[in-house]
Structure 1
């Protein structure tokens, strides 16, 4: 296979074999589905490319050879706004004995990846990395690389053919981390442009990645032999495989399905082989990169898929270890092999990735398969290892003595624990846990928690109740008394009977080489120590040997001289396996491998172990952080990770139709949750009850979630701001849980889900115990803003979670202090908003609902005496006008897109402790609303926004009670619906072609999708603008609502918009609940939580959109109000200083609430006030419309 490049526009990379060529071409704006465009029509989709499979003789004559020998493509990656194609340039094939056998089952050839090059599809800036002559570097120094379309000219042009593939300079790519200079950035002349994929290349070239080799019919390396045989048998019964295919376990790494003719007409139903069904997706390491190409492949007709698979263009890679030895047993040739498949779903380095995640994936999960192949028989034995499946981590300030901490209580971690073992039981039938942790203090806590979780899970889940056993085996204690040699005999006595019960997969071969399964393995051992490396590797070696000894003993007469060779090879394989897995996880070889190789341990082994321990410490302190970023980048886990899309009209049509039919697989339900914020002024928990703050309305329905944010849980002294003291947070956690437990008339139990801390700022999330199984993806993150990001006295803590299929992000923050430091506070907000990231590319903006509960430190820009006088008189209008946060929000300096319920309470800062008197100290701080709760998101409403009268601090706590709508997606039904839609699109009538059908369907679907957006009954201008604003309505308050009717949002999977109220003729419509029920009209408060609420229901009626503040006018704005003529209205520029201007906008007067002069009707709407409304003080049960 060769790699060619076309530099002329459009730039193309071409993978070519003798008969076919796979063409990859960058595309601007192609493949964008209707739902992937923003409100302005601009594309919000991922980078896209065009893929073509053409005969080799149709390759453009302008294509030049840049690598004469390659081994396939690992996928597509978008890095720094450029699209890269990782190409396997060097590999070596392991195993040769298959050539002399009728079928290669059990000894198939496997290729190890030695070198990978990342070729840029969208820019020539990095071509010089692949230039053996150095001419491209000369062109680079002439700044030609600064153009994304630059090409190189002259005698050393890259277009020249290469003599051989080995001339590639692998050392050219730097190894200092991700480049800070993306393509197009000016750098000093002569400075090499570091390749942005340098660290990913280093990972892929480590020698730990493998793919199946051997031509057209390669096998699925990601799947163990027994599962491959079972899948092949099932597909054979369905008629999708022939006998020859069944010999290799169901085709290659990318399966080739068969087509069947329908009995109706001449329709051809294509049975596609998808990524999820054809491989073990737990171990496919290039899932993120290869998925777009595999999904595109699945949409092609069978003939094209068959051609693509035969050429071997796509590489499916696993990480781990593969080793094989040829030997003679009883005069017969035999092969013993070992395959270890490392899971990628929770991948990373030792101190960065531990324990389990909410999906049930554990760190360092490895499936290890021992295979012995003889001419007439094959033996396969599988076992697994993985981190203790709890939420725990290890670290601390002292790298010589890291501490283990369990960071989630049993009730909150049990759902993930059960998910993990349910998947193992579904995959392997039965599990026997071998826990090698010691009884020392640190590891004993994990051992005890492990056993408690398992006992509880077995009592709750009948599926795993009698199919999981646990053996606690203190490896260190037993090896101290009898050495490692004694471990084997002890394990044989303890695990021997269970090993015989599980058995192994044994296959015999008939004369024509067709396999016949004699026995199947009925369970696996799951071994763990702390790191799942050294102790685990020794024990797995013993367990594998027990199973292999049973097979040898029962399969026939002994082999004179053969046993010694077999056990020698077996020990060597496990020693190499231990070293390989250890280098992946901790950067050094495994400890105790000298014993695994020879069966003996001596002084040389002890010295080697000590050296490796020192090396591991160095790796964890100086290497692992950068390595973790490279791993996350390749797996698509970084905040900047963006999956490349392949232009595919079939998939675009499928996605569009799924959106239209979203109501069929999506349901909605209402929940309540509580958010509170409290600056503690460094005070420890006291005798003052928190119940008036946490449960302000007795006998009200209890919230599903309670989110509590604290600031200054420790005094912010110079000694405290550089480090975090978790003991303070633990005390407040206990105090909160104690207060919650003491509430009157409890309606269920709350559990601590997650907490996070940054010096004095802490965030605590409690949930109802009964919803713990519905919460996933829980993660905490912090961002420092103090001392230019070096100190944690100021900053933010965030916790994200997913409740069913709706994501939430809760944040607490403490911004810069000082009355006039508005810009510093603005800068703190942007630092948090842009710099706080979660794993897998999630940012704050990635979530459906975001809530800030913070001490923002924004003040009131009025004299002290005036502020105090107005506050005591409950005259909030002048105070709100001078509120710094409100000013910068109105001018869109910060919190753009966020909302805040109207403030109907006095400023919460600053009081004398245990007093209702504002600051009487010498400093005489000006009262202010520093403690705020802001939010954004669809389907979100505030039912109460108030402060609580707790007096232990110089602040008053603030709380908001929210009502939200959460989505539940039936993913299995959605997958079935997707398959049905795909079959409908691909089905062809006689004489029709796929291109013609796609053209017809595209036009029809666009008309269907656009039609709901047009309402002929609504008046609108010919240029598409909404009606102009008048004294009863403003276009910016009803964006998307013409004539009071909300237009259908194609991206709204619930079929419902934001919760809110409709305005009719300038009055608030209270007769209709936007959720579908009827409100009482007898003057009662429909949002009063003391009233009973209707039970959640599904498929609810769409409601109106939440009204927002108008956008600020620009300095010189023009508005075209008709299609035939132009009318220009000039708007005066706004003041550059929001604190000195007389209003938020000098052209639009602020709508400030004024005190009422007569009784008012109380309305609990969270809508911003219309032109005929003002706000007044009240008792906090709602706010009022002034007639």
Structure 2
């Protein structure tokens, strides 16, 4: 594979096997070619809008003229230039980089003809900026240590590249020796999933399956390229796959050794481990699962034995406990022997994620058997986690028939608490410990293993299930048990077909598992973040007890990560400012437009009901019934809510201590109370799940979902922002949660803004801090959602004295009061909460009462009543319809009253299978009717026209009364009518006939224009 660069206009050609991939950017930046920069200096808005867009076409090399291109392929040796694989597009800081594998070594050979390569060198080339072109030659110097350059010079070059090149950290990260790829088969799958073709032992390509993206570490870089490849014809797909233009990489361990099966029959013994990368949040360390059931430390390991006669393969998986859990992340707890497990979500929410985890495993392997190696000492934190895990398994098996997602099955579990002393005693020997094997024999026999007879070209057996090995961190114990299971499977399987296995195979098998443990531990522990105090502890203590802890649950909240962590986030596309690259070509754009036009064929809208409420509870845990709050009788609630969103303020007393270490006791009280009320009083008797809760200081957010709607929920992600004392204190601030309901993105915010009658500007600044500072993955903010509901104690007051406010309240003249409402004025002026809507207020001010009464403040301060507690909404395409906006005047234990809102949301539900099939049909029809489109790319240097019509931001400036954007050059608007202005000599001046009907479409015999003489006759008559 070779790489060519045309400097002006900037474009890259990737060439392999007689085909080329043409890669261009519509608005490149030129720093070293100023004459061309001046020529290309266009609309900056358009350049910004198209910054993440790339134009790609796949063409036959013979059609291209390479005279303007120079070969920039890095040198593998003095006489040979070569690239080994294209790993995709990396978007960092508005620059798009092309990533290539430049050097590798053979790590494993599952068969004689199929190799797994370990990546040792990677390079990146900037697509849309020539600023870094001067480093290309420096990159080439670094490829091989065998170069004639002195070592010191090579080190200087590496340091220079790292300091200057934004993609250098990812380049270094990918070259550490823990990433692998293959040019012959899809490395993210296992042998049984790939299968065997009847005419050869060639493996199938299945990397585009949604399951296998969990092991595709460059998924962020190649996702659009995969879509591009899938839209090609079947013939073109095969050609594309053979070029290396789409290279999938995974992370883990791979090794092959030569051994013997029996006598002189040679064999290849291979062990492959793949680490998963799809979990939202920390991939490694002491954490549980995310909303989709993906867990930290998840590894799939496969053992393969290949001879000239047969192929044997067996798969085992492992990972952390698949529920929501984490270690208490305070240093005091981490350093102490009495560590504590915390559970950030409810049991029901964890059960849903737990179910998704096992649904995915069952869909892949048909059956799952858990080997649970957690401690049974219930006094320890590991024993407590074990107890929680068992409760989830028990609940799952007892309620299989009640599940609303997936298929019906049960989870079998074997408890196998192996002690560290036994592991040290036994070690990685070639014989298994006799006291463990009997426990595992029966499920091993039930699952079997894959055997493929090469000569007869058929399967002797297949693996019918998988062991899911579970330990606290998925490392040493899990690896040790996996080795025991693997060896026992080999012994039983080969004995079953009458083959006596050579002892050398077991010796090398044990050695591979030991190396696997060492390698996986090393590349995992490199990502565990230690505090300075933890680092100061003894080496033994650090190795055994110190694990990863991030200061926040989601990767977006990581503070001061290591260089490798930052590089990993860049690779996975999880930095706040990263967005994915969008590939375009005329067919692609046509298909997208047609899909949008025909969206009704694959999408539908569903109306759901959402209940939202904000309540400043003044630090109180109210023991009495709150039915009237959640199901107010005066509104006659007939249908159950699908979503319940509760925002609390002052859920704890706002002491100095609470601003530093948040007490969750009150939040847990209210979470339990609200769930019980929802379950007991909802009209249709549905069960609810506490999906997500969050708290900073006294501000809390509780999100409940109707259990049967959980299948529609995904991508749940929370964030927080303090605004008190300039952002240092949690007495004021906001908590937000983002999630998807089907294909509609929803954001819910609970906040508490600055207090005080005159602090309007401070409240405005609080709003700005929250709307800018609360971020979610992919750099999304609050407004980047289809629907937003923002509630809280906003603390905006009424600008009238008590003597005027209270009589108006008695008269229920709320319209008059609202004229002086500070938030109303702010919103009317487009300042705080611009573009948000609020339903008309028809209830009395909700602040400030004497506790336990319906009397407004009688204290010495005599605070003026105000609508401090508000609920606002904003949505695209007006998908939110508000039905109720009210307060609960009879809930009187606080100095505030709860405010409620009931909404109807129209959410979009897309059938992805129908959409995909429609896209394929559109693509083929376009190709048949329009023919080959390569000429567009071969004859046009400026290709920005291909994406102009799909960029909203690329439109001209808005029109004014004088200038109209649809007129050429923005010239003043004019109109010329021939009958009035193009008189020939002798013609009489004409004017518009006043007797024309007002309706322009009405039939009439009146002429459009008449002379002034005719007008006078009309007037005289």
Common topology (TM > 0.5) = yes
* Superimposed CA distance per residue, residues 745-799 of structure 1 (whole angstroms, 9 cap, x where no aligned partner): 6643333222111111111122333323333333322222223333222111112
* Superimposed CA distance per residue, residues 72-102 of structure 1 (whole angstroms, 9 cap, x where no aligned partner): 221012211111122222221224695xx5x
Aligned to 1:502: 447
Aligned to 2:464: 522
Aligned to 2:554: none
- Does residue 1:400 correspond to 2:335, yes or no? yes
- Does residue 1:489 correspond to 2:434, yes or no? yes
Looking at structure 2, the residues matched to 74 and 127 of structure 1 have their Cα atoms a distance apart, in angstroms, of 20
Partner of 1:719, secondary structure, is helix
Looking at structure 2, the residues matched to 762 and 23 of structure 1 have their Cα atoms a distance apart, in angstroms, of 52
Looking at structure 1, the residues matched to 718 and 100 of structure 2 have their Cα atoms a distance apart, in angstroms, of 36
Distance 1:416 1:347, change over 3 A: closer
CA contact (8 A) 1:385 1:526 kept: yes
* Superimposed CA distance per residue, residues 875-931 of structure 1 (whole angstroms, 9 cap, x where no aligned partner): 334432332222222222222221111122222222222233332323333332211
State the Cα distance separating 1:935 from its structure 2 match: 0.5
Distance 1:861 1:195, change over 3 A: farther
- Does residue 1:205 correspond to 2:205, yes or no? no
Looking at structure 1, the residues matched to 710 and 840 of structure 2 have their Cα atoms a distance apart, in angstroms, of 33
Aligned to 1:533: 475
* Superimposed CA distance per residue, residues 798-855 of structure 1 (whole angstroms, 9 cap, x where no aligned partner): 1233223322211101112233322322222222222222345543223221101111
Aligned to 1:318: 250
State the Cα distance separating 1:544 from its structure 2 match: 0.6
Aligned to 2:893: 952
CA contact (8 A) 1:660 1:1009 kept: no
State the Cα distance separating 1:995 from its structure 2 match: 5.9
Size of the alignment, in residue pairs? 900
Matching residue within 929, 933, 951 for 2:871: 933
State the Cα distance separating 1:617 from its structure 2 match: 6.2
Aligned to 1:80: 93
Looking at structure 2, the residues matched to 556 and 423 of structure 1 have their Cα atoms a distance apart, in angstroms, of 35
Stretch moving more, 766-775 or 899-908? 766-775
Aligned to 2:129: 123
* Superimposed CA distance per residue, residues 273-332 of structure 1 (whole angstroms, 9 cap, x where no aligned partner): xx238x933322212211222322333456655554333233211112111112344223
Written as runs of structure 1 = structure 2, the 5 A alignment for 1:343-354 is: 343-346=276-279, 349=282, 354=287
Aligned to 2:230: 298
Matching residue within 971, 992, 1006 for 2:912: 971
Partner of 2:194, secondary structure, is helix
Distance 1:451 1:168, change over 3 A: farther
Looking at structure 2, the residues matched to 870 and 942 of structure 1 have their Cα atoms a distance apart, in angstroms, of 26
Aligned to 2:202: 248
Distance 1:789 1:172, change over 3 A: farther
Looking at structure 1, the residues matched to 755 and 563 of structure 2 have their Cα atoms a distance apart, in angstroms, of 34
CA contact (8 A) 1:348 1:585 kept: no
Written as runs of structure 1 = structure 2, the 5 A alignment for 1:358-377 is: 358-377=291-310
Aligned to 2:544: 613
Aligned to 1:814: 752
Matching residue within 817, 828, 833 for 1:895: 833
Distance 1:135 1:417, change over 3 A: closer
Distance 1:930 1:318, change over 3 A: same
Written as runs of structure 1 = structure 2, the 5 A alignment for 1:635-654 is: 635-654=572-591
Matching residue within 410, 415, 433 for 1:472: 415
Distance 1:998 1:173, change over 3 A: closer
Aligned to 2:35: none
Partner of 2:215, secondary structure, is coil
Looking at structure 1, the residues matched to 462 and 370 of structure 2 have their Cα atoms a distance apart, in angstroms, of 20
Written as runs of structure 1 = structure 2, the 5 A alignment for 1:751-790 is: 751-790=689-728
Matching residue within 709, 712, 723 for 2:650: 712
Looking at structure 2, the residues matched to 781 and 300 of structure 1 have their Cα atoms a distance apart, in angstroms, of 41
Stretch moving more, 516-525 or 730-739? 730-739
Looking at structure 1, the residues matched to 424 and 223 of structure 2 have their Cα atoms a distance apart, in angstroms, of 52
Looking at structure 1, the residues matched to 937 and 25 of structure 2 have their Cα atoms a distance apart, in angstroms, of 22
- RMSD over equivalenced CA pairs, Å: 4.1
Looking at structure 2, the residues matched to 995 and 54 of structure 1 have their Cα atoms a distance apart, in angstroms, of 9
Aligned to 2:23: 24
- Does residue 1:566 correspond to 2:579, yes or no? no
Written as runs of structure 1 = structure 2, the 5 A alignment for 1:310-459 is: 310-329=242-261, 330-346=263-279, 349=282, 354-397=287-330, 398-401=333-336, 402-441=339-378, 442-459=384-401
Aligned to 2:926: 985
Looking at structure 2, the residues matched to 689 and 219 of structure 1 have their Cα atoms a distance apart, in angstroms, of 61
Looking at structure 1, the residues matched to 484 and 822 of structure 2 have their Cα atoms a distance apart, in angstroms, of 69
Partner of 2:849, secondary structure, is coil
State the Cα distance separating 1:456 from its structure 2 match: 3.3
CA contact (8 A) 1:587 1:616 kept: no
Aligned to 1:1063: none
* Superimposed CA distance per residue, residues 1004-1046 of structure 1 (whole angstroms, 9 cap, x where no aligned partner): x99x999xxxxxxxxx9998899xxxxxxxxxxxxxxxxxxxx
State the Cα distance separating 1:172 from its structure 2 match: 6.5
Looking at structure 1, the residues matched to 56 and 680 of structure 2 have their Cα atoms a distance apart, in angstroms, of 63
Looking at structure 2, the residues matched to 297 and 170 of structure 1 have their Cα atoms a distance apart, in angstroms, of 39
- Does residue 1:49 correspond to 2:66, yes or no? no
State the Cα distance separating 1:534 from its structure 2 match: 1.5
Partner of 2:195, secondary structure, is helix
Written as runs of structure 1 = structure 2, the 5 A alignment for 1:581-592 is: 581-587=520-526
- Does residue 1:550 correspond to 2:492, yes or no? yes
Distance 1:743 1:15, change over 3 A: closer
User: Structure 2: where are the runs of 5+ without partners?
Assistant: 30-42, 77-82, 379-383, 529-537, 552-557, 952-959, 977-1021
State the Cα distance separating 1:936 from its structure 2 match: 0.6
* Superimposed CA distance per residue, residues 970-1013 of structure 1 (whole angstroms, 9 cap, x where no aligned partner): 22222222222222223369xx54569999xx9xx99x999xxx
Aligned to 2:193: 227
* Superimposed CA distance per residue, residues 409-436 of structure 1 (whole angstroms, 9 cap, x where no aligned partner): 3433444333332322221122111111
Normalising to structure 2: TM-score of the pair? 0.80
Aligned to 1:943: 883
Structure with bigger RCO (C-alpha 8 Å, 6+ apart): 2
CA contact (8 A) 1:212 1:253 kept: no
State the Cα distance separating 1:61 from its structure 2 match: 4.1
CA contact (8 A) 2:527 2:564 kept: no
CA contact (8 A) 2:26 2:50 kept: no
Looking at structure 2, the residues matched to 472 and 413 of structure 1 have their Cα atoms a distance apart, in angstroms, of 21
Stretch moving more, 468-477 or 664-673? 468-477
Stretch moving more, 913-922 or 518-527? 913-922
Distance 1:746 1:307, change over 3 A: closer
Looking at structure 2, the residues matched to 407 and 494 of structure 1 have their Cα atoms a distance apart, in angstroms, of 34
Looking at structure 1, the residues matched to 236 and 682 of structure 2 have their Cα atoms a distance apart, in angstroms, of 68
Looking at structure 2, the residues matched to 701 and 5 of structure 1 have their Cα atoms a distance apart, in angstroms, of 63
- Does residue 1:276 correspond to 2:202, yes or no? no
State the Cα distance separating 1:4 from its structure 2 match: 4.3
Looking at structure 2, the residues matched to 490 and 223 of structure 1 have their Cα atoms a distance apart, in angstroms, of 34
* Superimposed CA distance per residue, residues 125-169 of structure 1 (whole angstroms, 9 cap, x where no aligned partner): 344655539999xxxxxxxxxxxxxxxxxxxxxxxxx98999996
Aligned to 1:676: 613
Aligned to 2:954: none
CA contact (8 A) 2:87 2:222 kept: yes
Partner of 2:388, secondary structure, is helix
Distance 1:899 1:96, change over 3 A: closer
Distance 1:685 1:626, change over 3 A: farther
Aligned to 1:9: 8
Distance 1:324 1:449, change over 3 A: same
CA contact (8 A) 1:296 1:648 kept: no
Partner of 1:361, secondary structure, is coil
CA contact (8 A) 2:318 2:470 kept: yes
CA contact (8 A) 2:281 2:290 kept: no
